[in-house]
Amino acid sequence: MKEQVARTQQKVVRRRPSQRVKTALPLLPMRGIVVFPYMVLPLPIGREVSIRAVERALAADRRLLLVAQQQTSVEEPLPEDLYDVGTIATVLRWVTLPNGHLEILVQGQSKVRIDHYTQRRPYLQADFQQVKDIRKRSGGLSEEVEALIRQTREKLERLFALGYLMPPDILILAENVQAPGRLADAILSNLELEVDEAQPLLEQRDPLRRLSAVGDLLEKAFDRMVMQHHVRSKAQENMTKTQREYFLREQLRTIQQELGEVDGHTESLLELRTRIDEADMPPEVEQEGRKQLGRLERMQPESSEANLIHTYLEWLLELPWRIATEDCPDLHRAHEVLDADHYGLERVKERILEFLSMRKLNSQMPGPILCFVGAPGVGKTSLGSSIARALGRKFVRLSLGGVRDEAEIRGHRRTYVGAMPGRIAQSLRKVGVINPVFLLDEVDKMGRDGHGDPTAALLEVLDPEQNHSFSDHYLGVPVDLSQVMFIATANVADAMPSAFRDRLELIHLEGYNDDEKLQIALRHLLPRQVNMHGVAHEPLRLSEATLRQIITGYTREAGVRQLERALAAICRKVARQVAEGQTDKT
């Protein structure tokens, strides 16, 4: 080494007699890692001082001082934040990244001790001296050294036998190398060590002590690998035990079938299969049901996934895929029902009868989606119920006020805990037919958040071109909504998104005048409240003048909701008098 330095100095002197050779090199602080001689590793360079140091090295002989930091949290380390012993490394390759950072590949060369720092800005630079191992004068290897090297080889072989991740070349090196320090440094370069474990070994000059410490580290690594293998074996044993239980249960099930005995789980599976055979589901739905039933038959009945599949099959079986009520297209009866249920609203009734006439003449033609718009209490919801009664269909109402999650309409995917179908599918299951009159109430009060837009899901529900194969995320099979008669209600039409509003035919319900409110009170509200409060057997009569006084003096509304509350208050007073034995005529 000294001869090489001397030759270099002679060459430099011959070229530039006035230039002195400097031993100072740029220093790269290392966070969380200690670099040993012969160690090859990639390094990401992101700190400004580190980038400057690497650039300086690349401009010269590509050599760097790699010194570990005492604390990894220090962003701009000073000399007192670094250890005294480090490693000279050579930059083998480097890449400049688009963000200005560097990726370099370095190889450790030799250990050095920092003498003093010659520069702090814009990067650290220091003078150093080589750190040589202590060598004992003896002819050849002693028995102690040979034994230590042999033990280290054996420990390495045991680690490799357990699958420890280390380059296979290290075994070849261990077979051929005779220098204990060289072997120790090569192994240390491939062990995952903390800085406080690795730095004392880097500073250790006695190769035998260093190799002995390496042997201890290999023992610890071996013990960890044995423990990991034990845990894996235990897990495999448990898995084998579960498979054995499954095999025995299958045998027990077969024996029970041979004896004519059926356990609860088998009986449940047979019942599900029978119900699928008799359900008359669409082919795609039946195929999915049989597929999930096959999975259920291969599972342990106690498993959580078996319960999820069982619940899913129950949903498939309870939906009314082909169950429908027969329409009663009698327009005279429809007119009578509308008149009996609602006083006034002649223009609205006329439009409803036109709608029903079109359905009677061409039931396959996709008609418009009616949307009743008006103030609270003008009869929007009850009109939907009257249409269902006029057609002889079942009626189901879905309140959408405050709904913000698309999953409320489309359902949750079955991978989520507590997943359920959407409220459309739930309502069909509840009503039990595939062609109800479906009232979407308060569609103007839906919102949206990070979980999606429910109005976007309703666009598919209301679109005649798409709703024959509505996709519910939980069910995973198409649901035919083409036979459902959808009707919507809203208080304010402008509150609905324009794309959603364009799918609807808006029918505005104006408020009632005093004469209409009087007739509604006489025909509907008062008789209903009398029956509800149990005073029907008492001769409770209110004159038209009294009702007009209530309408003008106690209610100020477009509908009749507050008027009904006022009549309910009167009925409560009468009910109390009757209950207390006061039977005076009212």
CB count within 10 Å of CB 386 equals: 22
Q: What is the pLDDT of residue 585?
A: 47
- Burial class of residue 420 (count of CB atoms within 10 Å of its CB; 0-12, 13-18, 19+): middle
Residue 257 has pLDDT above 70, yes or no: no
Determine the pLDDT at residue 539. 65
Query: What is the spatial distance between Cα 291 and Cα 284, in angstroms, rounded to a whole number?
Result: 11
- The more confident residue out of 31 and 553 is 31
Determine which of 123-137, 228-242, 268-282 has the lowest per-residue pLDDT on average.
228-242
469's CB contacts (< 8 A; 6+ apart) are 478, 479, 480
For β-strands 63-68 and 125-130, DSSP reports them as unpaired
Helices 195-203, 207-258: crossing angle, 10 deg rounding: 150
**How far is the C-alpha of 187 from the C-alpha of 184, rounded, in Å?**
5
The predicted pLDDT at position 315 comes to 92
The mean of the pLDDT values for the chain is 81
Greatest mean pLDDT range, 3-12, 161-170, 314-323, 538-547: 314-323
Can you tell me the distance from the alpha carbon of 562 to that of 566, in angstroms, rounded to the nearest whole number? 6
> Residue 579 — pLDDT band, cuts 50, 70, 90?
confident
Q: What is the number of other CB atoms lying within 10 angstroms of the CB of residue 428?
A: 25
Q: How far apart are CA 107 and CA 334, in angstroms?
A: 92
Q: Which residue has the higher pLDDT, 410 or 221?
A: 410
Of the candidate ranges 30-34, 78-82, 188-192, 397-401, the one whose mean pLDDT is the lowest: 188-192
Report d(CA 411, CA 315) in Å as an integer. 12
Domain topology for 2-130: 2.30.130
Range among 78-87, 268-277, 301-310, 410-419 with highest mean pLDDT value: 78-87
What would the mean pLDDT of 526-533 be, rounded to a whole number? 80
Smallest CA-to-CA distance from 187 within 153, 220, 161, 144 is with 153
Q: What are phi and psi of 449, to 5 degrees?
A: -150, -160
Q: Where are the domains of the chain?
A: 2-130, 264-318, 331-509, 514-579
Q: What is the CATH number of domain 331-509?
A: 3.40.50.300
- Among 208, 241, 425, smallest CA distance to 315 is for 425
Classify domain 514-579 by CATH number: 1.10.8.60
Which of the four pLDDT bands, split at 50, 70 and 90, describes residue 260?
A: low
Answer yes or no: is pLDDT of 5 > 60.
no
User: Is residue 11 scored above 50 in pLDDT?
Assistant: no
Q: Taking 80 as the threshold, does the pLDDT of residue 249 lie above it?
A: no
pLDDT per residue as tens digits for the range 283-295: 999 999 999 988 8
Fold agreement between 331-509 and 514-579: no
In the predicted model, what is the mean pLDDT of residues 119-137?
84
- For residue 105, give both structure tokens: 């590949």
pLDDT higher than 50, residue 47: yes
Confidence of residue 2 (pLDDT cuts 50, 70, 90): very low
Q: Note every long-range contact of 512-516, with CB atoms under 8 Å and residues 24 or more positions apart, other chains counting.
A: 512/344, 512/378, 512/558, 512/559, 512/560, 514/548, 514/551, 514/552, 516/343, 516/344
pLDDT band at 505 (very low <50, low <70, confident <90, very high): confident
Rounded to 10°, the helix 283-297/264-278 angle is 170
Chain mean position to CA 273: 33
Average pLDDT over residues 421-425: 91
Q: What is the pLDDT of residue 86?
A: 93
- Per the omega criterion (within 30 degrees of 0), is the bond before 29 cis? no
Taking 90 as the threshold, does the pLDDT of residue 551 lie above it? no
Determine which of 247-256, 365-374, 472-481 has the lowest per-residue pLDDT on average: 247-256
| Burial grade of 504 (CB within 10 A; 0-12, 13-18, 19 or more) | buried
Q: Which residues contact 379 (CB under 8 A, 6 or more apart)?
A: 342, 345, 509, 559
